[in-house]
Amino acid sequence: MTGAGPHGRGPADAAGPADAAAERHADPDAGRRPLVLVAVGTDHHPFTRLIDWSDSYALDRPDVEVLVQHGASAAPASAAGTAYFEPGGLAAAMTGAAAVVTHGGPATVAEARDAGHLPVAVARDPELREHVDDHQLRFVGRLDAAGLVRACSSYQQFRSTLDKALTQPDDFRLPDGAGAGTAAAAHRAGGLIDLLTGAHRPRPDLPLPRPDAHAHEQWPAITAVVPTRDRPELLRQTLDHIRAQDYPGTVHTLVVFDGADPDRSLERDDGGRPVRVLASTAAPGLAGARNTGILAAGTEMVAFCDDDDLWLPGKLRAQAAVLGAEPDTEVVCCGIRVAYDGAESDRVLPRTAVGFADLLRSRLTELHPSTFLLRRSALIGGCGTVDEGIPGGYGEDYELLLRLSRRAPIRNVGEPLVRVLWHRRSYFGGRWQTIATALRWLLTAYPEFRLVPRGYARVAGQIAFAEAAAGRRGAALRWSAAALRARWSEPRAVLAAAVACGLPPGAVLSAVNRRGRGV
């Protein structure tokens, strides 16, 4: 990834915006010709190839004005040129341009899209000594496949693409607001470079602090947020296991009743393990109940636990040791023991740190919401609380992990410290249309999935299965095909096609659930 965007200040002897303006308007017809803006960024490697293409295009198309921001490269001979723009100058030039050409730098691509352009992108090639590595080639290739840029790798392609941009401008303009938010877009695009190249991926063997009693002068108080709805017997077991934690500090429990009157008989005040009950004051559903508890918590550390799951001894001690020793860590998870239909199986993630790229590739079922121990400040005043706008509330825990992982790696204790009950009474059991709608929402909210074939295929396959189970055969087969195009070996697409052709969805779910897996 390159340094600052092309709006940064260049060397003292570089051509400035005044020089660029003089060059641009030396020809009295310049203001009447459509402008093609070419931006090569600020990387110190010369990008002679793109400068030469711009010069050739300027000679081939005298009816078009070509302005090149050439950075460290030699100035163009035929096109107008400026080494760098003053702050805001690049955005202004993009706004007035008929077409925008960029190198493969994420900030430049983001700014072009922010100005409403579908950019024509030419990636720097390390074999031509235009860059230090091939990340621009990979990045632009994925963006082009996702329809986010138009990539060019030869002058003939470059010329024909620009000709099309000038004669069919609507094909190279974005809908209003589609590219809004330059800073956020640049940050996201920079993260995608890491995603595609594997750079900065958290090391799987990053050691965890030991949960020993001498690790802290004082163990901080923790609030356990337990949303509940119509499961009183399971809830009481959950509360018993929270009270049984061998954690040295205080554990407050907030039981949040969603759509029901609070059961005051559950309240207790026994020193180190007090329990309060309250009614949800947010939107109906799990997300609103969790947010009610988060807002009501009086501690910095907050833990989630569903009303049908059980914390095993040592869970909070092991996780709090990590948060106490690592001020930059915001959430810690752990492994799970899945119980389904009389069988149990452990699901433990063999790594201690998880990043955004990892979560796009895989849901990582081991990172179950009942394992979350978080800093409250990471949510309130940070990435935001649980999203209550997700259709039906489906996958709210996964979406929260995606947001948190953009801020800092998620830490994971590699032991099964939560018993998770999978059963047919799940709230989403049989709500196939809700599931399909929520997953389509997820793909829209996180366009990065388009750049990760494995992750996109997984979600598309889940949509296909939900559509098939709902009896929507045509939609199921379309989504199955989309999943297989992204990843030919995606098993969910095959299962969805089988369900669409008559295989009972319940039989498939039972088979995978018995192995501690899900669709």
Domain boundary (379, 395, 421) is at 421
Question: Does residue 455 belong to any structural domain of this protein?
Answer: yes
Question: Does residue 496 belong to any structural domain of this protein?
Answer: yes
Q: Which of 113-117, 195-199, 223-227, 305-309 has the lowest mean pLDDT?
A: 195-199
Pair (184, 306) in one structural domain: no
Q: What is residue 439's predicted lDDT score, i.e. its pLDDT?
A: 95
Pair (224, 319) in one structural domain: yes
Domain boundary (421, 445, 471) is at 421
CA distances from 276 to 254, 257, 260, 300, 320 (A): 5, 11, 15, 17, 22
Question: Does residue 140 belong to any structural domain of this protein?
Answer: yes
Q: For residue 237, what is the domain's CATH number? A: 3.90.550.10
Structure tokens given for 402:
């995606």
- Asked if the model's pLDDT at residue 81 lies above 90, the reply is yes
Q: What is residue 205's predicted lDDT score, i.e. its pLDDT?
A: 53
Structure tokens given for 149:
């840029």
Q: Is the dihedral of CA 382, 385, 389, 393 positive or negative?
A: positive
How are beta strands 120-121 and 150-151 bridged, if at all?
parallel
Question: Does residue 27 belong to any structural domain of this protein?
Answer: yes
Question: Does residue 500 belong to any structural domain of this protein?
Answer: yes
Q: Are 40 and 50 in contact (CB under 8 A)?
A: yes
Where in the sequence is the domain holding 343, given as residue range(s)? Answer: 213-421
Question: Does residue 484 belong to any structural domain of this protein?
Answer: yes
Pair (173, 221) in one structural domain: no
Pair (147, 238) in one structural domain: no
Q: Which residues lie across from 344 on neighbouring strands?
A: 339
Which backbone phi and psi does 417 adopt, to 5 degrees? -110, 5
Pair (483, 362) in one structural domain: no
Which residues are CB-contacts of 163 (< 8 A; sequence separation ≥ 6)? 61
Cα separation of 271 and 371, whole Å? 24
Element (H, E) at 120: strand 120-121
Pair (356, 259) in one structural domain: yes
Pair (258, 187) in one structural domain: no
Q: Which of 63-67, 147-151, 191-195, 214-218 has the highest mean pLDDT?
A: 63-67
Pair (147, 236) in one structural domain: no
Pair (50, 185) in one structural domain: yes
Q: What is residue 199's predicted lDDT score, i.e. its pLDDT?
A: 43
Question: Does residue 185 belong to any structural domain of this protein?
Answer: yes
Pair (65, 33) in one structural domain: yes
Q: Which of 26, 31, 15 is nearest to 81 (CA)?
A: 15
Pair (321, 464) in one structural domain: no
Q: Where are the beta strands (DSSP E) in 217-358?
A: 222-228, 251-257, 275-279, 301-304, 310-311, 331-340, 343-347, 353-354
pLDDT, mean over the chain: 84
Q: Are 316 and 424 in contact (CB under 8 A)?
A: no
pLDDT average, residue stretch 53-72: 95
Domain boundary (162, 197, 232) is at 197
Q: For residue 71, what is the domain's CATH number? A: 3.40.50.2000
| 3-class secondary-structure state, position 111 | helix
Element (H, E) at 65: strand 65-69
Question: Does residue 221 belong to any structural domain of this protein?
Answer: yes
Pair (98, 133) in one structural domain: yes
Q: State how many domains the chain has.
A: 3
**What does pTM read for this prediction?**
0.66
pLDDT average, residue stretch 399-428: 84
- pLDDT range class, residue 66, cuts 50, 70, 90: very high
